[in-house]
A and B are shown apart, each in its own frame.
Chain A
Amino acid sequence: MPVVRNGGRRDACPTTNSMETQTALPTEELLINMGPQHPSTHGVLRLVLTLDGERVVEAVPHIGYLHSSMEKIAEASTYQQYVPYADRYDYLNAMGNEFAYVRAVEKLCGIEVTPRCEYIRVIMAEMNRIASHLVYFGCLGLDSGAWTPFLYCFREREVVLQLFEDTSGQRLLYHYLRIGGLRNDLPAHFCDKLAEFLDYFPDRIKEYDDLLTYNVIFRNRLEGTGQLSQELCRRYSISGPNVRGSGIPYDVRRVVGYSIYPQLEFDIPTQEEGDAFARHLVRVEEMRQSVRILKQCLEKLPEGEINVKVPRKLKPVVGEVFERLESPRGELGCYLVSDGSEKPWRLHWRAPSFYNLQVLPELVRGAYVADIVIILGSIDIVLPDIDR
């Protein structure tokens, strides 16, 4: 649906005008800590802010509070043992992380998985994308002062999580994907339940839009806030909905065309404006595209085996692989180096939140303190993904 921009109201609450307009009284700059225990920093992020009145002069992010040595653990565990760890660092996209890791290992070992397995993996990844964007949607509502949408979003997320639980036995950290296949096949009622969900979910997205997206207060907070130019995107290697909100149609699903994505029809939603509201619209539209992908997957889902035979002692050849996937937060990369033994020699995650958060000081410079929360919410970070 084309969105008419509510431009006229912007003058009432400017967010990015220059410092020169408020030089009437000489004041001292103020140094304050935001976080790490702050409800709107989505975890434990600490920002050291230099303030001039209500305006941000400089923001310095401090991270590392959740550093859990995920990469060092990989060097001490076998390839199969590491799969559940992959869930744990970007917990909102657990299926996607497993997907990236098992794809990297399979590429290294030359394992081809069955068509049914590929379809189920994509179904899981897209369901996880919907669940993740619902958390984003609800939390951005919370950040901007709207409590109700959060509860509605979690009502639908519950349905997705219930389907995950029926399939894998877990609600958040699944350990469902295995090297060369899956833990088990889909339960009998899965396809019917998912089809039912896909039927009514687009109406629910409209409900959220009516509640939040088209709310005039919400739009006044978001429009023009956190301008991310294409130049900044290039300099900071921004990816995911953030870069698509700035008019660059960069989506790894299309660019790399991994798994069965080339056989599926879907659009890459983009917005030109590059502000927080543009990024918000991109994410909402992405949920609709995920519904489209899931419907096609259910239609085409082939019968057959889900697992291929993989040796118990998995020893890939000496070599390395860099596998990229599109996570809900952007370009997720798994760099895996093998020395020919049972354990990875080196594993490095190209975590999308890690690279996307770097641009925050540029976005909040000159903005109101209250808008930091909006800008941070609109970048959509997950802190364990950053600290790993």
Chain B
Amino acid sequence: MSEEQDKGQKEEEAARQVVEPLPEQIAEALGDRVSEGGVLDGVVHITVPAEELADALRIVGFEIENSYSHLSDLCGVDRADCIEVVYHLFRPMSDEAVVVRVKLPRGNPQVPTATELWDTANWAEREAAEMYGVTFTGHPDPRPLLLPEDIQGHPMRKDWEYPEEHPYLSREPLHEDFPDVVGRVRVEAPPGREEEIEE
């Protein structure tokens, strides 16, 4: 298949996905806080600016009638031109979903924390923070969660580069018969951390 055909087919498929307007209840409650919104395959998608996020989450999650109060998931997404934080909200005991997303600049992404509304957001925000470099302002415990303390950068970003040198792994082959398989664990301590290892 040539690239042009491929592209044409993709556009055709994209056109088939019909975006319906937001349901009245949500559109009214949020007013002009929404910068983009629509219903796709029965799922409500809302994009809000970072400064309106706290309000939007509170309204959709708790203030409207039959609110979407189950925060199922929170994660970051690297969209190449921006960093996104995506909140998956559901009505309790139902499959009706609202996806709230906020687009942040790559330079200094900052967004208010959702931990005041859901304690669920605590670890999820810590994970998004270390993986994508998003600062969740007002987070009660902004320590790294999963990654080692000495890691450089934010590894889930698309422009993150695998480090050439690693303090504990060398490029030496694991076995002389398999010269391509590298990654022997260093026995000697990395420079500058000799004392630490001895202890």
Where the two chains meet, the residues of A that have a C-beta atom closer than 8 Å to any C-beta of B are 63-64, 67, 69, 71-72, 75, 234-237, 249-250, 255-257, 315, 317-319, 322, 324, 331, 333, 335, 337, 340, 345-346, 348, 350, 354-355, 358-359, 387-388
Chain B residues with CB under 8 Å of A318's CB are 10, 14
Q: Which of B97, B120, B156, B158 has the most CB of A within 10 A?
A: B120
Taking the closest CB of chain B, its distance from the CB of A248, in whole angstroms, is 8
Q: Please give, as numbers and ranges, the residues of chain B lying within 8 Å of A72 by CB-CB distance.
A: 155-156
Q: Which B39-87 residues sit within 8 Å CB-CB of chain A?
A: 40, 43, 69-73, 75, 77-78, 86
Known: A236-B120, A322-B97, A324-B95. 18 other contacts (CB 8 A): A64-B144, A69-B155, A235-B119, A236-B119, A237-B70, A237-B71, A249-B93, A317-B10, A317-B14, A317-B17, A322-B73, A324-B72, A333-B72, A340-B10, A346-B78, A358-B123, A359-B119, A388-B146
B115-156 interface mask toward A, CB cutoff 8 Å, 1 = contact, 0 = none?
000111011100000000000000000001111100000011
Q: Answer yes or no: B167 CB below 8 A from chain A CBs.
A: no
Q: Assuming A322-B97, A358-B122, is B147 touching A67 (CB within 8 A)?
A: yes
Task: Tell me whether B106 is interfacial, beta carbon within 8 Å.
Answer: no
Residues in chain B near residue A250, CB distance under 8 A: 92-93
The complex places the Cα of A345 from the Cα of B88 at a distance, in Å, of 18
A237 contact set on B, CB distance < 8 A: 70-72, 118, 120
State whether the Cβ of B2 lies closer than 8 Å to any Cβ in chain A: no
- Of the candidates B69, B99, B148, B156, which one forms a contact with A322 in the assembled complex, judged by CB atoms under 8 Å apart? B99
Which residues of chain B are near A355, meaning CB under 8 Å? Answer: 120, 123-124
> How long is the Cα–Cα vector from A71 to B78 in the complex, in angstroms?
12
Most buried by B among A237, A318, A350: A237
Main secondary structure, interface of B, reads mixed
- In the complex formed, the residue of A with least CB distance to B131 is A71
Residues of A near B70 (CB, < 8 A) are 234, 237
A273 vs B163: C-alpha distance when bound (angstroms): 51
Rounded to whole angstroms, the CA-CA distance of A72 and B119 in the bound complex is 26
> Which B-chain residue is minimally distant from A357 (CB atoms)?
B123
Question: Is B108 in the interface zone, CB < 8 Å from A?
Answer: no
Interface presence of B159 (CB below 8 A): no
Least CB distance, B156 to chain A, in whole angstroms: 6
Instruction: Determine if B177 is an interface residue (Cβ-Cβ < 8 Å).
Output: no
Cβ distance B127 to chain A, nearest Cβ, rounded Å: 8
| Residue B25, interface by CB 8 Å | no
Question: Do the beta carbons of A350 and B72 come within 8 Å of each other?
Answer: yes
Query: A311–B78 Cα gap in the complex (Å)?
Result: 28
Asked if B13 and A333 sit within 8 Å, CB to CB, the answer is no
Given A63-B146, A237-B72, A335-B73, does the pair A255, B95 have CB atoms closer than 8 Å? Answer: yes
The residue in B93, B119, B155 that gathers the most chain A C-beta atoms within 10 A of its C-beta is B119
Most buried by A among B72, B122, B144, B148: B72
List the 4 closest A-B pairs by CB distance, nearest first.
A64-B146, A237-B120, A350-B73, A348-B75
Q: Let me know if B94 is at the binding interface, CB within 8 A.
A: yes
Complex CA gap A319/B17 in Å reads: 10
A100 to B: closest C-beta gap in Å: 13
Residues of chain A within 8 A (CB-CB) of B145 are 63-64
Known contacts A255-B95, A318-B14: A67-B146 contact under CB 8 Å: yes
Contacts of A256 in B (CB 8 A): 95
Q: What is the distance, in angstroms, from B2's C-beta to the closest C-beta of chain A?
A: 14
Closest to A234 in B: B69
In whole angstroms, how far apart are the Cα atoms of A64 and B146 in the complex?
4
With a CB–CB cut-off of 8 A, which chain B residues contact A345?
77
A163 to chain B, nearest CB (A): 32
Instruction: Tell me, in angstroms, the Cα distance from A355 to B86 when the chains sit together.
Output: 16
CA distance in complex: A64, B148 (Å):
8
Cα of A142 to Cα of B158 in the assembled complex, Å = 44
In the complex, chain B residues whose CB is within 8 Å of the CB of A75: 158
CB distance from B92 to the nearest CB of A (A): 7
Query: A335 touching B94 by the CB < 8 A rule?
Result: no
The smallest beta-carbon distance between B113 and chain A, in angstroms, is 14
A379 to B97, CA, bound (A): 27
Q: A63-B145, A72-B155, A322-B88 are in contact. Are A235 and B118 (CB under 8 A)?
A: yes
Which of B40, B88, B146 has the largest count of A CB atoms less than 10 A from its CB? B146
Asked if B156 and A71 sit within 8 Å, CB to CB, the answer is yes
